[in-house]
Amino acid sequence: MRKLSFLLPWVFMLILTACGDRAELEDLGHVVVLGVDKAEDHQVAVTFQIANPQVGSTSQASAENEPPSDILTITAPDIVSAKELAQSVASRKLNFTHLNTMIISEELARTKQFHHVIASSTGDREMRREIHIIISKEKASEFIHANKPKLETRPHKYYAFMQDRWRDIGFVPDATINRYFERLSGELFLAIYATTTRSPKHEKDEDQYLAGQVPQQGGDPVQVMGSAVFKFGQMIGTLTGEETRIALFLRPKAVNRSVVASYPDPRKKDFRVTVRLLRVSPTDVKINVHKDPTEVKVRVPLKVQVIQIPSLVDYVLDLKYQEQLKRAIKESLESKANALVKKTQEQFASEPFKWYLFARKEFWTMKDYREYQWEKKYTEAKVQIEFMPSIESFGKQFKPPQIHEQ
Amino acid sequence: MPHDKGWRKSRAKTADNLMTEDQPFSFRLQTNADLLKEIFYYPTNLALKVRNLYIPLLDREGMVFYWEDSVDTQTIEAHIVGPLLQTKEIAMDSGDIATLLTKHVLTAASSKKISFIQEAIDELINGNTVLFTEGYAHALSISTTSFEGRTISLPTVENAVKGPKEAFIESASVNRSLIRKHVREHDLICELITVGERAPKQVSMMYLHSIADSELIEGVKKRIMDIDTDTIMNLSMLEQHLEERPYSLFPSILATERPDRAASFMYEGHIVLIMDNSPLALIVPVTFWALFQTGEDWYLRWAYGNFIRLIRLISVFVALFTPSLYIAAVTFHVEMIPPDLMLAIAATRERVPFPTLVEVLIMEVSFEILREAGIRIPSVIGPTIGILGALILGQAAVQANIVSPILVVIVAITGLSSFAIPEISFNFGIRILRFLMLFVAFFTGFFGIGLLSTFLVAYMVSLKSFGVPFLSPMAPFQPSAKDLLYRPILRDRLLRPFYASPQDQVRQKKTERKSSR
């Protein structure tokens, strides 16, 4: 009897528990990229890019004649039912656990349907909240089909590398489903903006581009630049790469710690100075909700590493010049930031800078904060932005070689 | 006990109907001699040697008995027969023959007077020489024991890079001597306890009187004396008679082949058991921590000792969990594997016809077969096993699509880690538990691993070794030298374990750091 009572829980545990979840690894079809397009009748066309484990992963068991991934599109009411329906085509059980990138067409993103698709998809246990959201200018299925990176055979690796780059350079925000869910009550959510189409234009500032506008020859078909702006779960506009960078600077904390950008040379108007901006401490945001209009004071401490001075002006030894350069950078950044703030106030009527966190702090209860209507107050707020750059270094070689004419 | 008496009776029958074990000697020399000869099946069995002699001092006939191959004949010659034949007269004459001979004639190291047949049998079997004289109903047993054995050699299991390199051998007296060399204390006590009814063996129980807890000593002694069996061949079998839970996967007694380790345990209040024919010493009681510690942890400097201890701790976990974690991750928790690795596993798994569990079992069982074969294989053909093993557990198995390549890595690291567990019983325990873990992981994934681990910890907490909780002094917590997962520097090893005698808890006083000046 004692033995039996000892064994019974174990037997029940084995019979009744998660055994049904078990699946052998090779039975699963790992969807690594998911594309969602608008279809008729409130349906969505879901594109699955399924990784082929036998291509590019190991030399032990490679299949030479198979493509690295299989792409198929299914139209269904939602993602989960599309997944089920796709099973009529796919030989393996589709699995989202390694899904890390979701491409959504701008067409769908600009409708109310977007939120319904995203919000309901997380009901699926396999959907991760750290899935990156990319808004494509064209249809998501076209984007996925066109994306054939030259250096990466396996699609998941391409996106994994790209996500690391985005974090470094800050041309695009680090947008995940989780962050999207955090910003649904009026705050702006920035999603990654990308395209495989091209509409090149030339800008003097190297980062004032949107995806597709970067002058490019050769290379991969996908351009990722700028961000798609969402408010109340619907896309309402775009920010260029530079605006995205500024927006990230104005946030209290940002994932990207340094960016390289060029600023007008204060001594020679035709030249620009390329610098690396480092964030050393969080951006300081002070909001006075008691004043009308609301006062917002933002101070952004920055460290500047001067990398290139094409004008060859001696900023290194001349402290006066240095002061001028610092002021030039500061003014350039501030004017851009002010323009961005103005744009968000007028065009989007909300802010993507996470300043709501500071406004919310000023209230005792959530109810008070909601009644205050921060987004509305923000559109009229007096925003004072101060960048505080301090020059840290002048690159590896202080003094560029000079040409000595006789 | 009834069955006890039964076999005694039957044994008496086989030897001699008349003989009982406490039959006293006769006054007649020839009667005694005949009786002994009959008991030892003389002359069929030529092991019993008899030498008749005339003892001039007593003016009587005498007989010297000894058992061939267990005595040193040189000693008999020089210290018994020689003096008996040569001594003609002595200055004083005292009454008893035995006393007289011991005092004035025999030059052997020790001798004692015996009066019963059974005593004579025991003495002879243990290599002593028995001297009978005419008209005297007693005999004299003179110690002349000399069994053959090997000399002290290097430890074969518990190797140490830095530390003494002597190991116990099969002789109890040599082993005791090795311990005494390490523990030179006047209160190092060696008690002899006899176990076994048919062929009684002596167990030497050694402890430091001032440090070991007297209750513990009594307990261990009682446990040994309570053993009711015909014979105990050696310590390995004594260990199984002593333990409280014979079915347990965790050992509750530690066996070591290092005298220095036994000595250091003695200083912590443990009791050391030694027996003939066992190149080991048993240490009781023992806690979980002793099972994966080695003497070298303390011989090496603080950082190095902790480093190897950490490595061994990791290897315990690796040996126990790796295959089951692999199974759980691959069959239940695919999202936990990095995508690159996941795809590589999936690619190779595609051509393997078995489920993951079967695949893992094939490899794990092959490894265990290889390991067992490695021990049993005659050393002459030993090298073949390396070749065969490499075939089974290597590239060939992968190329035959029986297993996926990652499994080779997993089985290899698991096998390697299990070799790093120093205690052989604990090693077996972990290896068996690994299979249990494997099945649970296959059925319920991490959930099952978690449950079984919880169960194991609960079980270990409930275990006791001679009254000492297995996981103490961590759980239940007791003040201790903190020599558990981490070892402190030597200066901070202040306390003895709580189960040592309460009078002597403090090993050393906290000392201030001595300046180098």
DSSP string, A317-346: T-HHHHHHHHHHHHHHHHHHHHHHHHHIII
Whether residue A204 sits in one domain with residue A258: no
Angle, nearest 10°, between helix axes B382-392 and B356-376?
170
Tokens of A233: 């779960």
Q: End-to-end distance of chain A based on CA atoms, in angstroms? A: 108
A185-189, B67-71, B182-186, B513-517: least confident range: B513-517
Mind listing the pLDDT tens digit for each residue in B331-383? Answer: 989 989 999 999 989 988 888 888 899 999 999 999 999 889 888 888 888 78
* pLDDT at position B21: 59
Number of domains, chain B = 3
A235 in the same domain as A287: no
Angle at B247 between CA B215 and CA B2, to 5 degrees: 70
- Do both A129 and A193 map to the same domain? yes
Residues B332, A22: C-beta atoms closer than 8 Å: yes
Q: Is A93 an interface residue toward B (CB < 8 Å)? A: no
Enclosing domain of residue B116: 2-143
CA dist., res. A256 & res. A30, Å (int): 30
Same domain, yes or no, for A233 and A370?
A: no
Closest CA to A284 of A299, A302, A304: A299
CA angle A126, A127, A133 (to 5 degrees): 155
In a domain, A13, yes or no: no
Task: Say if strands A382-393 and B139-143 run parallel, antiparallel, or are unpaired.
Answer: unpaired
Looking at B286, B314, B338, the residue that finishes a domain is B286
- Beta-sheet strands, E only, within A39-68: 44-51
Q: Assign B16 a pLDDT band (cuts: 50, 70, 90).
A: very low
Among A176, A206, A239, give the residue marking a domain's end: A239
Cβ atoms of residues B116 and B21 within 8 Å: yes
| A263: amino acid identity, one letter | Y
Report whether pLDDT(B514) > 80.
no
The verdict on B204 and B85 lying in the same domain is no
Are A100 and A185 members of one domain?
Answer: yes
Question: Which of A374, A389, A166 is CA-nearest to residue A280?
Answer: A389
Considering the domain architecture, whether residues A295 and A391 belong to the same structural domain is answered as yes
Does the beta-carbon distance from B444 to A18 stay under 8 Å?
yes
B14 in the same domain as B123: yes
Pairing of strands A188-195, A223-231: antiparallel
| pLDDT, position B449 | 94
Which residue among A239, A270, A291 closes a domain? A239
Which tokens is A321 given?
A: 């010049």
Q: Tell me what pLDDT residue B3 has.
A: 45
Q: Is residue B368 part of a domain?
A: yes
Please say which residue of A216, A239, A262 terminates a domain.
A239
User: A213 lies in a domain?
Assistant: yes
Q: Is residue A18 part of a domain?
A: no
The reply to whether A22 touches chain B by the CB within 8 Å rule is yes
A215/B430: higher pLDDT: B430
Which of A40-54, A203-217, A247-261, B2-16 has the highest average model confidence (pLDDT)?
A: A40-54
Domain that holds residue A57: 25-239
Is residue B129 in some structural domain?
A: yes
Report the relative pairing of strands A382-393 and A295-308 from DSSP bridges.
parallel
Residue B495 lies inside a defined structural domain of this protein: no
Handedness of CA B95, B96, B100, B101 (dihedral sign): positive
Instruction: Tell me: pLDDT of A359 over 50.
Output: yes
Residues B215, B307, single domain; the answer is no
Asked if residue B430 is part of any domain, the answer here is yes
Closest chain A residue to the Cα of B350, Cα to Cα: A26
Q: What is the mean pLDDT of chain B?
A: 86
Rounded Cα–Cα distance for residues B169 and B175 (Å): 6
Is residue B334 within 8 angstroms of chain A, CB to CB?
A: yes
Q: Is the pLDDT of residue B491 over 90?
A: no
Q: Is residue B481 part of a domain?
A: no
Q: Residues B380-409: pLDDT tens digits?
A: 887 888 788 877 777 888 888 888 889 999
Inside any domain, residue B32: yes
Residues B280 and B357 placed together within one structural domain of the fold = no
B189 and B112 within one domain: no
Residue B182, amino acid:
H
Q: Does B167 touch chain A (CB under 8 A)?
A: no
ipTM of this predicted structure: 0.85
3-state secondary structure B341-383: HHHHHHHHHCCCCCCHHHHHHHHHHHHHHHHHHHHHCCHHHHH
In sign, the C-alpha dihedral spanning B159, B163, B165, B170 is negative
Residue A14, chain B, CB below 8 Å: the answer is yes
More confident residue, B17 or A92: A92
Q: Which of B330, B350, B443 sits opposite A61 (nearest CB)?
A: B350
CB-based contact (8 Å) between B342 and chain A? yes
Instruction: Decide if A295 is inside a domain.
Output: yes
Residue ending a domain, among B286, B312, B330, is: B286
Residue A159 and residue A40 share a domain: yes
Establish if B473 belongs to a structural domain.
Answer: no
A26 has a chain B CB within 8 A of its CB = yes
Position A14 scores a pLDDT of 63
* Pair (B113, B186) in one structural domain: no
Query: Are A205 and A71 members of one domain?
Result: yes
Whether residues B20 and B139 fall in one domain: yes
- C-alpha distances (whole Å) from B388 to each of A80, A360, B373 are 51, 71, 11
Q: What is the CATH number of the domain that holds A333?
A: 3.30.300.210
**What is the spatial distance between Cα A47 and Cα A39, in angstroms, rounded to a whole number?**
12
Q: What are B199-256's pLDDT values in tens digits?
A: 888 899 999 988 888 888 999 999 999 888 888 888 999 999 998 889 999 999 999 9
Phi, psi of A45 (to 5 degrees): -95, 110
Q: Are residues A176 and A292 in the same domain?
A: no
Q: Are residues A65 and A184 in the same domain?
A: yes
Question: How many Cβ atoms sit within 10 Å of the Cβ of residue A317?
Answer: 10
The closest of A117, A123, A37 to A73, measured between CA atoms, is A37
Show residues of chain A in contact with B334, CB under 8 Å: 23, 25, 28, 30, 95, 97-98
Tell which wins on pLDDT, B516 or A340.
A340
In the block, residue with structure tokens 């090298």: B383
Examine the fold and report which residue of B448, B465, B482 is the final residue of a domain before the chain moves on: B465
**Quick check: is A16 in a domain?**
no
Q: For residue A226, is it within any domain? A: yes
User: Are A25 and B445 in contact (CB < 8 Å)?
Assistant: no
Same domain, residue pair A288 and A195: no
A106 lies in the same domain as A207: yes
Cα(A359)–Cα(A372) distance, integer angstroms = 10
Q: What is the DSSP letter of A347?
A: I
Considering its fold, how many domains does chain A have in total?
Answer: 2
Residue B12 lies in a domain: yes
Cross-chain Cβ contact B347/A53 below 8 Å: yes
Q: What 3-state DSSP class applies to A312?
A: coil
Q: Quick one: CA dihedral B254, B259, B265, B271, positive or negative?
A: positive
Would A208 be classed as within a structural domain?
A: yes
